[in-house]
Amino acid sequence: MANLFIPGPTDVHPEVLQAQSRPMIGHRSQACVDLIARTQPKLRTLFGTEQRVFLSTSSGTGLQEASVRNCVSEKLLVCVCGAFGERWFEVAQQNGIPAEKVTATWGQANTPEQVETIMKKKVFDAIAIVHNETSTGVENPIQAIASVARALNPEIIVLVDSVSAVGGVEIRVDDWGLDVVFTSSQKCLALPPGMAFAAVSDRALHKAESVHHRGWYFDFLLYEKFLKRNLTPTTPAISLLFALDAQLDRIFDEGLENRFMRHRDLAARTQAWAKEKFDLYADAGVRSKTVTAVKNTTGLRIAELNQYLATHNMVIANGYGNIKDITFRIGHMGELDLQSLETLIDLVDKFSSQNNQSLDHGSSQVHTEIR
Ligand SMILES: *Cc1c(COP(=O)(O)O)cnc(C)c1O
């Protein structure tokens, strides 16, 4: 295992892959009701909520669209500090929902001060924040931002894209006053892609009651009606539900605190190495615990590096969005351990030194050799 050093999909444990191959059951059967009922308390613990966690057969972006469709009737304030914040603004626009951005310089985090300034001038009924900006490797201070927004407007709905954080980084939906927090199956939760999960507050559901044209597939009120009976409105990806049930058990066997600590350790090791050999894109103090954006200061050819890594069944990620060509990214989320990270680092160092040698001699021979 431990081959995918990309920010999703991540490696899936063989036991979890095995769980997916169980014989099919009907989605209205007692067995499916029991399955959904079994996962609910585990999901609630994971998100830090006593409210509810919706199960969606879509990728995470489906629930991003759902959150703006269900929870905004006036205007959405979108915190942007990278490509996934921009995505959120586009999703709002394409759904005809008025939205305004508050933007941080890429590599920096959005701040409570920024949000306070704009909220003192204008009225918003919802605010959207990316928990962990996967393009720049920045973690946003969502607790502080939510707290400032709530102080200025007690009714505001706080929407959080925690796709690359839930399961790798602590999140406390109820304590932090968050309303919709979604994640995808294929990131820190280390499940195959195909499902997404959203903790949704009573306040968000109450708001949805007053919002028109919520859509049908992602209507939160319909989800709630079915989830009360441990069902989903339409046929869920049942194989993935089997996998989810098994993986949540594995996650709690490891222990949430241990899992968060493992992600912190992986980030610390990756970032210490990257700072020494290259440079880091994100500012100190806001660096992500699940993905590192490395400034490609030595002009490493990432496609060639990945060809080399592929011979060891490993892969890292390109830069993303506007910073595609000046960065590369190392995902350290899911089931990865320090030992496989050390192996990856050794291989990148080896490739780098061969790369430098070939540059010194003005020849591309080394590249041909290691291919
Ligand atoms: C991966 C990612 C997404 C997109 O998730 P999908 O499951 O592909 O829809 C959205 N936001 C962030 C922060 C991500 O890392």
Atom 5, ligand 1: residue with shortest CA distance: 60
Q: Calculate how far, in angstroms, residue 61's C-alpha sits from the geometric centre of ligand 1.
A: 6
Q: Residue 283 C-alpha to ligand 1 middle, in angstroms?
A: 22
- State the Cα–Cα distance between residues 65 and 53, nearest whole angstrom: 16
The alpha carbon of 135 and the centre of ligand 1 are apart by a number of angstroms equal to: 10
Ligand 1 centroid to Cα of residue 8, in Å, is: 8
Query: Could you give the CA distance from residue 133 to residue 363 in angstroms, rounded to a whole number?
Result: 38
Each residue's pLDDT, cut to its tens digit, for the chain (371 residues) gives 569 999 999 999 999 999 999 999 999 999 999 999 999 999 999 999 999 999 999 999 999 999 999 999 999 999 999 999 999 999 999 999 999 999 999 999 999 999 999 999 999 999 999 999 999 999 999 999 999 999 999 999 999 999 999 999 999 999 999 999 999 999 999 999 999 999 999 999 999 999 999 999 999 999 999 999 999 999 999 999 999 999 999 999 999 999 999 999 999 999 999 999 999 999 999 999 999 999 999 999 999 999 999 999 999 999 998 899 999 999 999 999 999 999 999 999 999 998 776 655 544 443 333 33
Tokens of 219: 């209507």
Count CB neighbours of 257 within 10 A. 9
pTM: 0.95
CA distance 81 to 107: 7
Residue nearest to ligand 1 atom 2, measured at CA = 163
Report pLDDT digits (tens) over 156-201.
Answer: 999 999 999 999 999 999 999 999 999 999 999 999 999 999 999 9
Do the strands 4-5 and 315-318 form a parallel or antiparallel pair, or are they unpaired? parallel
Residues near ligand 1 (Cβ within 6 A): 7-8, 59-61, 84, 130, 132, 134, 161, 163-164, 184
Q: How many A from CA of 29 to the centre of ligand 1?
A: 31
Q: Using CA atoms, how far apart are residues 161 and 175, in angstroms rounded to an integer?
A: 17
User: Tokens at residue 291, please?
Assistant: 């993905």
Q: Which atom of ligand 1 is nearest to the CA of 164?
A: 15
- In this structure, the residue with its CA closest to atom 12 of ligand 1 is 163
Closest atom, ligand 1, to C-alpha of 193: 7
Q: Convert 202-239 into a string of H (helix), E (strand) and C (coil).
A: HHHHHHHHCCCCCCCCCCHHHHHHHHCCCCCCCCCCHH
Select from 355, 7, 347 the least CA-distant residue to 164.
7
Cα–Cα distance measured from residue 38 to residue 355, given in angstroms and rounded to the nearest whole number: 52
